[in-house]
Chain A
């Protein structure tokens, strides 16, 4: 009873309400996108996009424009570029590896430009980009994050079935007139936008956990693709809600850490449970 009252009290606070509005939408998107990322073995590409998120934000700050503009432009742009450069819309390791280092190098340059521009070493912006600051979102920022995540979810669900076909069985899908290459490029653009969204929630360094861990667990739980997609979205959303509540209750625990810790724990638990079940029967 007391716990319920304190929970209600917590949620009535604007910082947590904003975090929940943004966090639920962003993590649902990350879970759905993550399912295809893992199925298409593009976790490495998603990691490259998290670097682009960092660099894009700092580039915008150095140029003195809205940081979210730089964030989305960089991740979507790099995502589409990786898709176009790689074979058949599937980015290959060498291309991503090169993009990786180059993008991070640019980030270092922009930190220096930003700091020089202000005449002092301001580390707050880069720390917030790297580790997220979901409790610091304004109501407007939260609504923008949730709204754009919702649009991206609709886009992903709109291409879900042909994308699944192209991910599993590219040659047959192409013979069935599915635009395999186009879908691959669009998908990497969506992954880029998802990286930008997730940067606002858990930060560029941790967003891979929100994309890969729920999807990895979902693929262990079920071999039915659309059930797996839903499970992945559910696990990501659950981890975020739980993580935000834990962090709000225990201020020493940062929300990014709580969310990623819960997502990782869910993956580990699933792995142990499915391995144990398989060994028994």
Chain B
């Protein structure tokens, strides 16, 4: 089986500063892989490198056996974002349609319906369970509904790989777990590989095939059970780290060094049994 994504001894630099070196990662068809790590570790940079939008400082990246920039048209991408302007009065399904043919010049001719395109759009909207709200303006939708529409947009051209940058960010916990289940379903049933940047591993942990944990300029790759352990993370950070197992199966990482960036503002939705990992004073990733 050929690898969908292959990174060999890859190094990443931003503004001349080396963020990561010697990253090796392989993603096969239908695999669900998460990039974890503190802010500034290079997770989003790695996603942009996979899209060919950021230069590879050293090593080699292939996506679908091609250079990343050449494979970009066959990759679905969901950038990290804030929500759409509430006043944006454009139908959600039109946004999905732009994912299909938005790069074509000109404008759609009236009275000349492209039935295949319209069918593909409604098919993919159904796939992400967004049919009920796809005809409403995108700005009026909730964060979770917008995220489903954007996943549909990323999927509409039948990519073999989805690159998602913090798709669960700023969603409430029930919505996080339903989007996580949707992504896992897409992996299994649509044979799409997913590489996803995540801040909190718990909502997706049970679905993940592999984790790449980025910290201190290095990456550790393995299954969640291999990577998120006290010894592995202690070795990665070079400082004692403890991983606690909560009663509901979620993990809490304790003792991680304070990341340099302001970090606490992203954690506004409190879940009562995730108190530790929601505590802004206790950065985490687990």
Contact = CB atoms under 8 A, between A and B. Distances in A.
Contact of B98 (A165, A171, A219, A228): A165
Interface string A153-176: 000011111101100110111111
Interface residues of A, number: 28
Given A171-B81, A220-B89, A224-B91, A161 B73 contact: no
Nearest to B69: A177
17 contacts: A157-B107, A161-B101, A161-B102, A161-B105, A162-B103, A162-B104, A168-B84, A168-B98, A172-B78, A172-B79, A173-B98, A173-B103, A175-B72, A176-B73, A178-B102, A223-B90, A229-B107
Nearest to A162: B103
A223 B79 contact: no
A175 B53 contact: yes
B186 to A, nearest CB: 17
Interface SS, A side: helix
A176 B90 contact: no
A157 B106 CA distance: 6
Contact of B103 (A176, A226, A229, A230): A176
Contacts of A178: 102-103
A173 B98 CA distance: 9
Contacts of A230: 110
Contacts of B204: none
B98 A169 contact: yes
Contacts of B77: 172, 175
A171 to B, nearest CB: 4
A33 B238 CA distance: 58
Interface string A44-67: 000000000000000000000000
B132 to A, nearest CB: 16
B81 A175 contact: no
Interface of B: 51, 53, 72-73, 77-79, 81, 84, 88-91, 94-95, 98-99, 101-108, 110, 136-138, 150, 153-154
Most buried by B among A160, A172, A230: A172
Contacts of A162: 102-105
Given A175-B72, A224-B94, A225-B94, A165 B102 contact: yes
B137 to A, nearest CB: 5
Interface string A14-43: 000000000000000000000000010000
Contacts of B79: 171-172, 175
Contacts of A173: 98, 102-103
B148 to A, nearest CB: 15
A229 B108 CA distance: 11
Contact of B108 (A39, A161, A171): A161
9 nearest interchain CB pairs? A165-B102, A160-B107, A171-B79, A223-B137, A165-B98, A175-B77, A223-B91, A223-B89, A219-B89
A177 B73 contact: yes
A4 B199 CA distance: 71
A159 B95 contact: no
A228 B101 CA distance: 19
Interface in A166-213: 168-169, 171-178
A175 B98 CA distance: 13
B72 A177 contact: yes
A228 B91 CA distance: 11
Contacts of A225: 90-91, 94
Given A172-B99, A226-B110, 14 more contacts: A39-B90, A160-B107, A161-B105, A161-B106, A161-B107, A161-B108, A162-B103, A169-B98, A172-B154, A175-B51, A175-B77, A177-B72, A177-B73, A223-B89
Nearest to B53: A175
Nearest to A218: B89
B195 to A, nearest CB: 14
A157 B105 CA distance: 9
Contacts of A169: 95, 98, 153
A242 B155 CA distance: 47
Contact of A168 (B78, B95, B101): B95
A176 B90 CA distance: 20
A228 B89 CA distance: 10
Contacts of B81: 171
Contacts of A160: 106-107
A226 B108 contact: yes
A183 B242 CA distance: 51
A39 B87 CA distance: 10
Contacts of A223: 89-91, 94, 136-137
A38 to B, nearest CB: 10
Contacts of B51: 175
A229 B99 CA distance: 19
Contacts of B106: 157-158, 160-161
A17 B181 CA distance: 65
Contact of B107 (A172, A174, A226): A226
A164 B78 CA distance: 18
A168 B105 contact: no
